[in-house]
Amino acid sequence: MRTLIVDDDFTSRLLLRRLLAPYGECDTAVSGWEALEAFKCAHAGKYPYDLICLDIMMPGLDGHEALREIRRLEAKYRIDEKDRAKVIMITALSEREHILAAAYGNCQAYVVKPISKDMLLEKLQTLGLLSESGHKGAEAGERPAAAVPETT
């Protein structure tokens, strides 16, 4: 499983990386703009992300805007819907308007901070990215070595 963690908070990025690193490669971005660059580079290198963990409250391009742009790029690249990145919005915002905006933006899950390992792994299983035993999903591990360096 190849993951892009996008959060402007260092501690949140570190926690997510520690939780997700045992299941595959993790890149990080500190802004929506940086996330879009990483996303474009991953597709150019033919090694796209399976999962994007995206914070909403970031300066500049926020998570909702970044999600819309990621989905626009996937359509532009003609990526079949079943092959698109799974997106989990991970945020401190629990208001209905943000949850609805994320759903409208076509994210697959919404997690309110603080994050627990059990909750996160359950979401990954629900999305088909991990098996019940916690091993990588079938398509994980079938891709070549990373073409994009970490952006921490």
Residues 124, 51: contact at Cβ < 8 Å? Answer: yes
pLDDT band at residue 128 under the 50/70/90 scheme: very high
Q: What is the mean pLDDT of residues 21-30?
A: 97
For residue 138, pLDDT beyond 50:
no
Per-residue pLDDT tens over the stretch 57-75? 999 999 999 999 999 999 9
Closest C-alpha among 5, 13, 92 to residue 56: 92
For the chain, the domains span 2-126
Per-residue pLDDT tens over the stretch 83-127? 999 999 999 999 999 999 999 889 999 999 999 999 999 999 999
Nearest 5°: phi and psi at 110?
A: -135, 120
Q: What CATH fold (topology level) applies to the domain 2-126?
A: Rossmann fold (3.40.50)
